[in-house]
């Protein structure tokens, strides 16, 4: 089951390929820190509509869900090194490449609407209120207060089509300040060398037990926690020659551990530990008992799970509390890796199953194959989805794990 904790790229080759081939990739000539990013307009607005998640423009981005969203909007959905060819007013600029050869790449009306305009020559920033694709004229929401916007100015445009490419509701379920599944979790990291955006996002998802997937054109975020309610019930698997296309097995024994070492902070200078015989302050008898159960019930004596959490700084040594980000992740990890779980492969018809995505959680009601106590009771998380054909009929194949 280690592949589950690898995070967002597990079984998501399409996303990996997109981030590898994307022409607008994060450029290694730029640099940024994952503590110090500031929310832009997108945290409060989806297009012209209000977005309610407890955060405001100008707040520091510390929640892992919104760090990922910022990387996508502010570093992936971008066009850099553009130059203004003509400007007829403080709110209008044409970037067609006829003068300076740095044209915008798309000629579709309003394609850049609600994207963020950064004029590096004047230092002015606002959002784009309209775009004429035929002339490639950008209309700004606010006049450039410098009064100096002119032909030749260097421009970057970020968050291009961001509201169409991101499922904001899924990110807010994880990150909102009222009941977000990762509310209060803090991400802080520094870099000693350049890393790709893909690797950075993957490491965040690993550390915070998140899944970033793509459904159609939109990125969705989900986490490895049991939801308060399922997204649906699977009860009618397809059959081939009268045999239901549903298989059940147990997770392997070698996916269980009885000892844990969680290193975090700058260069992993802090450490939390847990074993059947003792633990770091804040874990205690409950989690020592889970480790003991893994040893006695599954004979996993001395198997250690060790990891450096490079995106987590705070922990028992840096804050006098048992509810830090590292404590929460440590508890979640021990819960996950100290018990066997049912694994399921299920194939369903296209019409009724295409709507389900990686990260969704369902019950399975099929008592002839699902054991009593699990059937129509336990939650199963979808960790893989593929579209296939059975006897020439399109079907949806899922792989799920008891959560």
Q: Across the chain, how many H-helices and E-strands are there?
A: 9, 23
Distance CA 278, CA 285 (A): 8
**Per-residue pLDDT tens digits for 265-315:** 877 788 999 999 999 988 999 999 999 999 999 988 889 999 999 999 765
What confidence score (pLDDT) does residue 19 get?
45
Fold match between domain 79-158 and domain 232-251+341-402: no
By three-state DSSP, how is residue 328 classified? helix
Distances (CA, A) of 150 to 88, 92, 155, 265, 279: 9, 10, 11, 46, 63
pLDDT at residue 7 is higher than 60: no
| Mean pLDDT score, 160-185 | 96
Phi, psi (degrees; rounded to nearest 5) at 227: -80, 165
Q: Which residue has the higher pLDDT, 207 or 14?
A: 207
Chain center to CA of 141: 30
Contact predicate 74/40, CB 8 Å: yes
Rounded to the nearest 5 percent, the helix, strand and coil shares of the chain are 20, 30, 50
What confidence score (pLDDT) does residue 131 get?
99
pLDDT at residue 102 is higher than 90: yes
Q: How sure is the predictor about 215, in pLDDT bands with cuts at 50, 70 and 90? A: confident
Closest by Cα among 325, 384, 388, 319 to 357: 384
Q: Which positions ≥6 away from 371 have C-beta within 8 Å?
A: 248, 342
The domain locations on the chain are 2-77+163-223, 79-158, 232-251+341-402, 253-336
Chain center to CA of 59: 20
| Mean pLDDT score, 74-97 | 97
The conformation of residue 227, written as its DSSP 8-state character, comes to: P
Closest by Cα among 206, 223, 296, 314 to 258: 296
Please tell me the number of Cα atoms within 13 Å of 58 on its side-chain side.
0
- Compute and round to an integer the Cα radius of gyration of the chain: 24
**One-character DSSP codes across 31-42:** ---SSS-B--GG
Q: How sure is the predictor about 35, in pLDDT bands with cuts at 50, 70 and 90? A: low
What confidence score (pLDDT) does residue 6 get?
38
Distance CA 207, CA 63 (A): 12
Distance CA 355, CA 352 (A): 7
The conformation of residue 374, written as its DSSP 8-state character, comes to: T
By three-state DSSP, how is residue 137 classified? strand
Closest by Cα among 229, 84, 208 to 157: 84
Per CATH, is 79-158 categorized as 1.10.260? no
Chain center to CA of 99: 40
Class for the domain spanning 232-251+341-402:
mainly beta
What confidence score (pLDDT) does residue 97 get?
98
Tell me the average pLDDT of the chain.
89
Please tell me the number of Cα atoms within 13 Å of 273 on its side-chain side.
8
Output the pTM of the full model.
Answer: 0.88
Taking residue 114's Cβ as centre, other Cβ atoms within 10 Å add up to: 22
**Per-residue pLDDT tens digits for 106-143:** 999 999 999 999 999 999 999 999 999 999 999 999 99
Residue holding tokens 């106590």? 373
């Amino acid at each position: 089951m280690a592949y589950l904790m690898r995070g967002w790229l597990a079984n998501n080759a399409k996303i990996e390929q997109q981030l590898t081939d994307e022409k607008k990739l994060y450029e290694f000539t730029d640099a940024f820190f994952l503590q110090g990013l500031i929310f832009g307009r997108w945290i409060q607005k989806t297009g012209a509509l209000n977005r309610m998640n407890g955060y405001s423009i100008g707040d520091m981005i510390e929640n892992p869900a919104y760090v990922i969203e910022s990387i996508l909007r502010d570093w992936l959905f971008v066009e850099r090194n553009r130059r203004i060819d003509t400007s007829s007013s403080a709110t209008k600029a044409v970037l067609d490449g006829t003068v300076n050869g740095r044209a915008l790449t798309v000629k579709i009306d309003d394609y850049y609407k609600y994207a963020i305009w950064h004029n590096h020559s004047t230092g002015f920033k606002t959002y784009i209120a309209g775009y004429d694709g035929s002339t490639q004229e950008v209309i700004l929401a606010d006049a450039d207060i410098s009064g100096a916007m002119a032909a030749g100015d260097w421009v970057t445009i970020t968050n291009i089509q961001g509201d169409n490419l991101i499922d904001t509701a899924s990110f807010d379920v994880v990150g909102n300040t009222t009941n977000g599944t990762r509310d209060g979790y803090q991400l802080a990291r520094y870099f000693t060398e350049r890393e790709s955006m893909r690797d950075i996002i993957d490491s965040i998802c690993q550390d915070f037990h998140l899944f970033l997937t793509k459904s159609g054109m939109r990125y969705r975020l989900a986490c490895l926690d049991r939801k308060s309610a399922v997204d649906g019930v699977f009860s009618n698997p397809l059959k081939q020659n009268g045999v239901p296309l549903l298989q059940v097995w147990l997770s392997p024994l070698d996916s269980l551990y009885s000892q844990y070492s969680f290193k975090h902070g700058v260069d992993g200078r802090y450490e939390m530990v847990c074993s059947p015989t003792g633990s770091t302050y804040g874990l205690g008898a409950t989690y020592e008992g889970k480790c003991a159960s893994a040893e006695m019930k599954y004979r996993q004596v001395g198997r250690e799970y060790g990891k450096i959490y490079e995106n987590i700084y705070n922990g028992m040594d840096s804050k006098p509390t048992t509810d830090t980000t590292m404590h929460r992740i440590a508890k979640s990890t021990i819960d996950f890796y100290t018990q066997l779980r049912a694994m399921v492969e299920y194939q369903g018809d296209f019409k009724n199953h295409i709507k389900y995505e990686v990260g969704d959680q369902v019950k399975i009601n099929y008592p002839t194959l699902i054991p009593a106590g699990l059937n129509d009771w336990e939650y199963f998380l979808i960790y893989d989805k593929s579209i296939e054909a059975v006897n020439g009929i399109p079907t949806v194949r899922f792989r799920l794990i008891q959560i």
